[in-house]
C-alpha cells in the first residue's frame, strides 16, 4: 500500500477540518501504529472504527484485519478515503452519525464480539461511551482517543474529585485503563487540550450482579446531581422522602457523600431498592 499521511491528504484535497464536527486528525504515524498495536488484531477479525476521517488509520487496520467497518459522518472524508485506498477490498464505509447508527444492523454479518477503535470527538465522547455500554455484548474491547480530563474521570478511584457517574457506570460493566497521552501537536489542527488513549475491555460475564440496569443508572446519576450532600439526602426523592431506609441492610453509612461509595455499594443499594420501588 502506498505511504499516505494525513498532512498530504489535507493539502492534496484542500480539506479544512470542521470544528463543528470535532475534527482533529491524528497525524503522527508512530502513534497511529501504537493505537493499532494496542488493539492486538488477528487476521480473521472484523474491526469497527468510529470516525474514520481521511482513512489513514483505517487503511492500516485493513492491512492486519479480516475486514474493517468504518463509520464516518462527513461525506467529504469518505470520498477521499475510498479514492485513496480503493485497492483495499476489505474496507466498508458507512456515512452515518455513530450516535444514531443501528449497530446491530451494521454488525449483523460481523464476527462478534467485535473490537472497536476510534479517535472520537471530544464534545460527544461521553455519549459515545454510554452507547458502547448499552450495546456491550457486541464488543470485545475498544481503543479510544479522548480528552485527558475525561480519561481521568473514567479511571478515577473512589473518594477522589474525579470519581463520579462516568467511572461508576463504565467500570460496573467493563475494565478501563489508560494507555498513553497524546500531545496537541500530533493532531491537525492541534486541540487545546491533551488527549489520552484508553482501552476498555468488555468481559464475557457481568462484573456485578445488577438486577435492574435502568434503576442502577438512575440511582447513580441522581446521587451525583447533588454530590456535596450526603447520600441519604441526595437520594431523598428515590427513597420517598427517606421512608425507605436501606442503610443498615446494605451496610452503607447514610452520612457518606456520593463519591465515597464504591461501585459494589451502589450495586447493592440498587438491588435492594429494585423490588421496593
What are 195-220's pLDDT values in tens digits? Answer: 999 999 999 998 999 999 999 999 99
Question: At residue 207, what are phi and psi to the nearest 5 degrees?
Answer: -75, -30
- Average pLDDT over every residue of 12-28: 91
Provide the CATH number for the domain formed by 213-276 in this structure: 1.10.8.100
Strands (E) located in 85-169? 91-95, 114-119, 139-147
Mean of per-residue pLDDT scores for the chain: 95
pLDDT category, 21, cuts 50, 70, 90? confident
CA distances from 157 to 21, 24, 166, 251, 252 (A): 32, 30, 12, 20, 18
Cell digits for 104? 446491530
- Compute the residue count for the chain: 277
User: Which residues are CB-neighbours of 200 under 8 A, at least 6 positions away?
Assistant: 129, 132, 141, 142, 144, 170, 174, 175, 176
- Average pLDDT over every residue of 119-137: 95
State whether the Cα torsion 21-25-31-34 is positive or negative.
Answer: positive
102 near 82, Cβ under 8 Å?
no
Cell digits for 220? 447513580
Return residue ranges of the chain for CATH 3.40.50.150.
6-201
119 near 145, Cβ under 8 Å?
yes
| Percentage, residues of the chain above pLDDT 90 | 92
| Percentage, residues of the chain above pLDDT 70 | 99
Quote the pLDDT of residue 227. Answer: 87
Whether pTM exceeds 0.85: yes
d(CA 71, CA 203): 24
Q: Which residue has the higher pLDDT, 226 or 68?
A: 68
d(CA 229, CA 14): 53
For the cut 80, the answer to whether the pLDDT of residue 105 exceeds it is yes
Quote the pLDDT of residue 1. Answer: 56
CA distances from 240 to 228, 234, 237, 253, 275 (A): 20, 12, 5, 18, 14
d(CA 28, CA 186): 5
What are 36-46's pLDDT values in tens digits? Answer: 999 999 999 99
d(CA 103, CA 21): 20
For the cut 60, the answer to whether the pLDDT of residue 136 exceeds it is yes
Architecture of domain 6-201: 3-Layer(aba) Sandwich (3.40)
User: Which residues are CB-neighbours of 208 under 8 A, at least 6 positions away?
Assistant: 172, 263, 264, 267
For the cut 90, the answer to whether the pLDDT of residue 226 exceeds it is no
Cis peptide before 147 (omega within 30 of 0): no
For the cut 90, the answer to whether the pLDDT of residue 20 exceeds it is no
- Average pLDDT over every residue of 49-76: 97
d(CA 202, CA 131): 13
Return residue ranges of the chain for CATH 1.10.8.100.
213-276
Per DSSP, the three-state class of 180 is: strand
Quote the pLDDT of residue 4. Answer: 81
Amino acid at each position: 500500500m502506498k505511504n499516505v499521511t494525513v498532512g498530504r491528504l489535507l493539502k492534496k484535497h484542500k480539506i479544512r477540518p470542521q470544528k463543528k464536527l470535532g475534527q482533529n486528525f491524528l497525524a503522527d504515524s508512530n502513534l497511529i501504529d501504537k493505537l493499532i498495536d494496542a488493539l492486538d488484531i488477528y487476521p480473521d477479525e472484523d474491526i469497527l472504527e468510529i470516525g474514520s476521517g481521511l482513512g489513514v488509520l483505517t487503511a492500516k487496520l485493513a492491512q492486519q484485519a479480516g475486514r474493517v467497518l468504518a463509520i464516518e459522518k462527513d461525506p467529504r472524508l469518505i470520498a477521499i478515503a475510498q479514492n485513496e485506498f480503493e485497492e483495499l477490498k476489505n474496507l466498508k464505509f458507512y456515512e452515518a452519525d455513530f450516535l444514531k447508527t443501528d449497530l446491530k444492523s451494521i454488525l449483523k454479518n460481523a464476527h462478534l464480539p467485535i473490537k472497536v477503535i476510534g479517535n472520537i470527538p471530544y464534545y460527544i465522547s461521553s455519549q459515545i461511551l454510554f452507547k458502547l455500554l448499552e450495546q456491550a455484548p457486541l464488543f470485545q474491547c475498544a481503543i479510544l482517543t479522548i480528552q485527558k480530563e475525561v480519561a481521568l474521570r473514567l479511571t478515577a478511584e473512589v473518594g477522589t474529585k474525579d470519581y463520579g457517574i462516568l467511572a461508576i457506570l463504565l467500570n460496573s460493566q467493563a475494565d478501563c485503563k489508560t494507555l498513553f497521552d497524546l500531545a496537541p501537536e500530533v493532531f491537525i489542527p492541534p486541540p487545546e487540550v491533551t488527549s489520552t488513549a484508553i482501552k476498555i475491555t468488555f468481559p464475557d460475564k457481568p462484573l456485578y450482579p445488577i438486577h435492574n440496569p435502568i434503576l442502577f443508572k438512575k440511582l447513580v446519576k441522581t446521587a451525583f446531581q447533588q454530590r456535596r450532600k450526603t447520600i441519604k439526602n441526595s437520594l431523598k426523592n428515590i427513597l420517598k422522602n427517606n421512608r425507605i431506609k436501606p442503610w443498615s441492610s446494605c451496610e452503607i453509612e447514610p452520612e457518606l457523600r456520593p463519591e465515597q461509595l464504591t461501585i459494589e455499594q451502589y450495586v447493592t443499594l440498587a438491588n435492594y431498592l429494585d423490588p421496593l420501588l
